[in-house]
Chains A and B, each alone.
Chain A
Amino acid sequence: MSASAIETAPALRAARRSTVRARSLRALPLGRLALRALALALSLAAWHLAATYRLDLGVVTFRNVPTPTAAAQAAWALLHAPALPTHLAASLARVLSGFLAALGVGVVLGLAIGRSKRAHDLLLPPLEVLRPIPAVAWIPLAILMFPSSEVSMAFITFTGALFPILLNTVHGVESVHPRLVAAARSLGAGDAAILREVILPGAAPSIVTGTAIGMGTAWFCLITAEMISGQYGIGYFTWESYTLQNYDDIVVGMLLIGLLGMGSSLVVRRLGAWATPWAGAGVQR
């Protein structure tokens, strides 16, 4: 490596930052941006027309579907309703507890399964049997097993988030190259240090992927669970709006669920990127 070929580290980093920024803020041509805005506007207009004129196609009918204006008004009203914070807090608490439990259990089991042949043989077969069962299918049994409906809903959320996190952790552990482990041993690392300093960080990018998927499935499962056994919560609110014939609020509930899911995915991805700063560095090896 000749000295002339060596760029300075700050220059390298600046170059990396600017490419990242360029990628995220890459401005689309104005024409394409306009086209995308138009597509959104047209969808809204189609919804508005179908709902206003109570379009009835036989198979699908818009007779009971609120108009965008009605939904917007209901959303505005909900924003000022005293019940909203209660619903939000209930859903967030359930998602967080289920998700965090899945994160803890998934990562610990994943490390064990990925590292130890014994743990692999002991733990994986029962988990493989449970894995194809959709978390939603657990709802009746969960209601029977957990006296508290709060715990049963958190459990459903946990079940949904567990497998993506667990399987991605196992995959991440197995993808740590034996050369890295050998290098660490030659540098004086013992078994505990290998796990902490090599396997865990080596598997981290894969774990982050698992948590992002797990957060998505956690919301999906929670909403279903809340519709069936909940009291408070966004899923409960949406279902209650249907039973009370507050049809405008159904759409508001749906939009809120979408927003919360998107927001929590964003948070997970941000935290993940913060925890694995090297993952975006230079050419991936």
Chain B
Amino acid sequence: MSAALAELQVDDRADDGHVAIRGGAIRLGQGASAFDVVEGIDLDIPARQFVCILGPSGCGKSTLLGAVAGHLALSRGSVSLDGRAVTGPHPDRGIVFQQHTLFPWLRVLDNVAFGPKMKGVSRAERRERARSLLAQVGLSDFLEAYPAELSGGMQQRVEIARALINRPRVLLMDEPFGALDAQTRLTMQELLLDIWTRHRTTILFVTHDIDEALFLADRLIVMTPRPGRILDDIPLEFGRPRERGLITEPRFTAIKHRCLTLLRGTPGGVPLARLSPIGV
């Protein structure tokens, strides 16, 4: 790594962040009501790749994310990060949920400082680090606010900062902007890409919004309805930094059309209930 790059404070740790799923299947529920959520998942995500998983509601993409996070166990197959099997949650695999997972009793600064606190980092140091991350997500004026005082978009900024403070090797995002209004969602997508230039982790981003997936990712995984399987694996070579104008370009709309065809071609039937990364 050159000195010039080091000055950019890029969070660079060689090959850290390689996620591998081999023959992954997840079965949820008890006894007769048990059902296969995903099956036959084989996926290799190289370090620092931004991958979006796209699929219809209930296809198990969030559940798959939960397995990588370690909140759910695979019923078959294995998940590993940098060659080490995932056996439970770990701050190396940070997760951002769709909404409402900030601790309502902690102020914004202390929510973000939670991870370092668990590691035993001193109060002064962890608050300093939290302050710096919150500045990067544009929330310096809200350090002392409680989560309930923030808008949905601001809460998601805090969530992102709270996961990133642990310097995760992979950042797992479960429809993180799904509950936001359209305008805020666009702003948050750009903010995420901006932050990602500084914290270059692997990102596994689950969404059902095709535009969002295409705008953000290096690579798109399209899944079938339940039981979810990988339907297509599409590389996105749009170059970075991405501009908003991209979404009207022909090469963008061509891939969007392909995705729409893939999703429409899947036997949908009744829309399934949304699953969460922590089980049914």
Contacts and interface: CB of A to CB of B under 8 A. Distances in A.
Interface stretch (B21-29, B77-85, B142-150, B228-236): B142-150
Given A276-B105, A278-B104, A183 B115 contact: no
Given A179-B276, A182-B71, A202-B105, A1 B145 contact: no
Given A187-B91, A282-B146, A179 B97 contact: yes
Interface in A235-285: 276-278, 281-285
A112 interface: no
Interface in A172-191: 177-180, 182-190
Contact of B118 (A16, A189, A204): A189
Interface stretch (A7-15, A125-133, A150-158): A7-15
A193 B103 CA distance: 14
* A interface secondary structure, majority: helix
B278 A179 contact: yes
A182 B142 CA distance: 25
A179 B101 contact: yes
Interface residues of B, number: 48
Nearest to A281: B146
A1 B188 contact: yes
Interface stretch (B6-14, B151-159, B245-253): B151-159
Contacts of B242: none
Contacts of B146: 277-278, 281-282
A16 B149 CA distance: 9
Most chain B CB within a 10 A radius of its CB, from A13, A187, A193, A276: A187
Contacts of B145: 9, 12-13, 281
A197 interface: yes
B118 A8 contact: no
Given A1-B153, A180-B103, A285 B147 contact: yes
A188 B97 contact: no
A16 B148 CA distance: 12
B149 A281 contact: yes
A130 to B, nearest CB: 32
A8 B71 contact: no
Interface string A194-234: 00011001101000000000000000000000000000000
Interface in B81-129: 88-91, 93-95, 97, 100-101, 103-106, 114-115, 117-119
B28 to A, nearest CB: 14
B69 interface: yes
A187 B166 contact: yes
B119 A188 contact: yes
Contacts of A188: 90-91, 115, 118-119, 166
Given A186-B94, A186-B163, A187-B166, 8 more contacts: A1-B151, A1-B154, A2-B183, A2-B187, A180-B101, A186-B69, A186-B93, A201-B105
Interface of A: 1-3, 5-6, 8-9, 12-13, 16, 177-180, 182-190, 193, 197-198, 201-202, 204, 276-278, 281-285
Top 3 nearest A-B pairs by Cβ distance? A1-B153, A282-B148, A188-B118
18 contacts: A1-B153, A1-B187, A2-B184, A5-B151, A8-B141, A9-B141, A12-B149, A177-B100, A179-B100, A180-B101, A182-B69, A182-B277, A182-B278, A186-B69, A188-B119, A190-B118, A197-B114, A204-B105
